[in-house]
Amino acid sequence: MTVELVRTAGRLPGGEGFAALYAQAQQFYAHQMRILDAHGAERWAGTFTEDALLELPHLPAPMPARAGLAHYRRAGAERQRRAGGRLEHWVGRLDVRLHTDGSLRTRCSALAYGTPDQGGSRILYVCVMEDVLVPAGGGWRTAHRRVTRDDLA
């Protein structure tokens, strides 16, 4: 069974080039979420372009992503306090579309979960993240992010 899956993988739309882009997008999100969970505001800002826009469910209009860092520092600390332990994010169900301009349009599910000092993890909220990723310095940066939350829809 595994051998058959490996053999058919090369015939999927996009082939090896697309598989490499998909792996790069997965690695980008893994890196970006680790920074977010570590409250590394300056490093997190570096994963966005200078003019990136951020749309969040609690804001009436898009805002410059890097300006959102002050809010993130306060909100992240508060979420961590409420979680009573670690607060982490998990990204999955990633869909990646390559556009002719070389950018990637992505859509994924993102879970925020708390792991209390005592007891098991619990999901705090579920989001959908839609991004435009642009090539930058041999990697990717977010040029636009729209976040919607299932519980606020």
Residues 6+ apart with CB under 8 A from 137: none
Question: pLDDT tens digits, residue range 31-85?
Answer: 999 998 887 888 888 999 999 999 988 888 999 988 776 566 566 666 666 656 7
Percent of the chain with pLDDT over 90: 48
Residue 118: pLDDT above 50? yes
C-beta neighbour count of 132 within 10 angstroms = 19
3-state percent breakdown (helix, strand, coil) of the chain, nearest 5: 40, 40, 20
pLDDT of 114 reads 83
